[in-house]
Structure 1
């Protein structure tokens, strides 16, 4: 009989980095394990239908989905209680699980504690991001959650040293498991960059302040001011309507509307990457940045902020400080474009076909 695994998402099953990892696990290990999925949105998203083809169930405990900031704040503070009660009901109705694999950062805490109460033997907490500064109340709540998660997790894993320290602290045992990319989809296209044509930049990631798309728009303006015909492609779901409007306002302010293209997060990203010239990732922080690996896997040279873990460099990344400004970034990109030569890129250690065995080992621990 297959072991039963409950995968706990960070939110829904949209086309994001965490979700891509979970779906890769399901695709590769469904012959050995039965997977169910716990989501925190009522929306049907990119991977929902595909996940159901593997025979598992989707459970939903939606967060508050309205637009009232006050109710959002209240929901955040009472969410643990609501999740505890609804997940308890799920555990009472379903066959016992052998593994619970949580991808919900600090909110893993109450889920792991309940899983321990229901004697789920393998309880995995996974760190995906580096947490920024919060207000005093949230910081105290997260510290409390950290202690609970560390107590009840049997395995602590993360995509980088910094992500693990951010979620678990440096004083506990954890294991780094590389984020992987789907090497069946992302692979070199043997493309050459033609320096006499339009330079196409591409950025992948949720449209949000952390991903810093406004900065990319400013970089584009400076590249064009340096005499290079260039355009920018932005791929990602709108995670913050206010921030996207700021990006749109910046595009209009700089008269760049015809040079910036938006693509939804559920587009075939590998195709857009393979028809672009270079990748830009000016994030304020990232737990890892799997999109950088995917970009290099198709052969794109990348320009990324120096807050991103250097382990993402497979031979094709220039790390730049955001404090140096968009003109500096633009100058670096133009210099690369004028003197283009292919990078010696090796993304093999991040291939799904290799990393997946680490998850199989974790799920089979007794």
Structure 2
């Protein structure tokens, strides 16, 4: 049986974002392997078990996320090169920046092709720090010579990839897709769910989904929310992260700790969305946000930062703002409560989302795999 190898720095990434691609390859008759870092965190071990349950053969290759971990990544490169020479894979599909670096270098050294690399948001982008361009854009330009398929998930990255000296060519695929039909059909009793969350039935509820870190920028939303003067409104955050205590303290200092709720990691996000009134997505950097697409599929009006990926999903939206502009966000939160063009926004979102449906994305990925790997 022909074999394909997925390479990334973190096993959880494959579970979160690549199970659909894995299934496509299995249905095409390939045995799927993965080379990734399963060491350390408990959740990584859980990821290995999940991948095995999906029929994936796992190889523990300790690729590190940081490009500064040179010794560790050199060891990972050597181990991966040895694996590639031993297994004779029909192709390699790399993900994440360091998975892409180590994977493409090892594949070239082992004379394994074709090599696919999906950029889930290049680490260089409009307005990024100069060091990002010096490190990441330089690396991507160099590694393009070892890349047969450069897959991008937003228009800004696709334009950048087309300028690379690729061995093959650049492709645009609209993300990993979302199951629009499944999400839009979720049924939940709003009053019951709100009671479970401790939210009044008549309150206006904003919600965000994402890790509590600097990039996700929940701090700006908390500040804007505190300035709205809407006492019968709440802000829910689904996610864990290193900034939780800082955000809790900020909400307390601003006098909104009773109306800003930190829900932690949730497995019922689709139900929570149905119990809310507006989705807020304030990130500084994204590739193409799954959580934003899920909120759109749930029928919520969406307020989002004007960044790469978000502008693809919300073209011509009046509910976009600059990531650090608290005043603009505060006004948009007030506008959505007042219903300003909310109906038009939601109708446009529903139409836009059709191209991001998982069925469409799967068909495009199947064509790419068939084109690169053969029948």
- Is residue 9–residue 63 contact of structure 2 (8 Å, CA) maintained in 1? no
Q: Secondary structure at the match of 2:62?
A: coil
Q: Tell me: CA distance 1:336–1:275, structure 2 relative to 1, closer, same or farther (3 Å).
A: same
Give the counterpart of 2:233 among 220, 230, 234: 230
1:266-312 deviations in Å (ceiling 9; x for gaps): 52322222222111011112222222111101111100011243211
Matched with 2:247 is: 247
Matched with 1:13 is: 12
Q: Tell me: CA distance 1:109–1:165, structure 2 relative to 1, closer, same or farther (3 Å).
A: farther
Give the counterpart of 1:114 among 106, 109, 113: 106
- Post-superposition offset of 1:140: 4.5
- Is residue 62–residue 73 contact of structure 2 (8 Å, CA) maintained in 1? no
Which structure 2 residues correspond to residues 173-322 of structure 1 after superposition, within 5 A?
Answer: 173-179=169-175, 180-183=177-180, 185-188=182-185, 197-223=202-228, 225=229, 227-238=230-241, 241=242, 243-265=243-265, 267-309=267-309, 310-313=311-314, 318-322=319-323
1:243-267 deviations in Å (ceiling 9; x for gaps): 3333222122123222222234452
Normalised to the residue count of structure 2, the TM-score between the two structures is: 0.80
- Is residue 9–residue 98 contact of structure 2 (8 Å, CA) maintained in 1? no
- Post-superposition offset of 1:102: 0.9
Q: Give unmatched runs, 5+ long, in structure 1.
A: 66-71
Is 1:163 aligned with 2:160?
no
Normalised to the residue count of structure 1, the TM-score between the two structures is: 0.82
Alpha-carbon distance in structure 1 between the residues aligned to 2:85 and 2:42: 25
Aligned-residue Cα RMSD (Å) equals 3.2
1:62-106 deviations in Å (ceiling 9; x for gaps): 3669xxxxxx7852x43431221221233344x321121111225
Which structure 2 residues correspond to residues 116-155 of structure 1 after superposition, within 5 A?
Answer: 116-132=108-124, 133=128, 140-155=134-149
Q: Secondary structure at the match of 1:83?
A: helix
Alpha-carbon distance in structure 1 between the residues aligned to 2:96 and 2:83: 18
Alpha-carbon distance in structure 1 between the residues aligned to 2:102 and 2:333: 46
- Is residue 5–residue 98 contact of structure 1 (8 Å, CA) maintained in 2? yes
- Post-superposition offset of 1:317: 7.1
Q: Secondary structure at the match of 2:92?
A: strand
Alpha-carbon distance in structure 2 between the residues aligned to 1:329 and 1:196: 24
- Is residue 151–residue 173 contact of structure 2 (8 Å, CA) maintained in 1? yes
Q: Secondary structure at the match of 1:147?
A: helix
Matched with 1:40 is: 37
1:321-360 deviations in Å (ceiling 9; x for gaps): 235x323322222222222754212212111112112222
Q: Give unmatched runs, 5+ long, in structure 2.
A: 192-199
Is 1:351 aligned with 2:347?
no
Alpha-carbon distance in structure 2 between the residues aligned to 1:6 and 1:302: 37
Q: Secondary structure at the match of 2:27?
A: coil
- Is residue 24–residue 182 contact of structure 1 (8 Å, CA) maintained in 2? no
Q: Tell me: CA distance 1:222–1:12, structure 2 relative to 1, closer, same or farther (3 Å).
A: farther
Give the counterpart of 1:104 among 86, 89, 96: 96
Q: Secondary structure at the match of 1:322?
A: coil
Moved runs in structure 1, 4+ residues, more than 4 A?
Answer: 132-136, 138-141, 188-196, 314-317
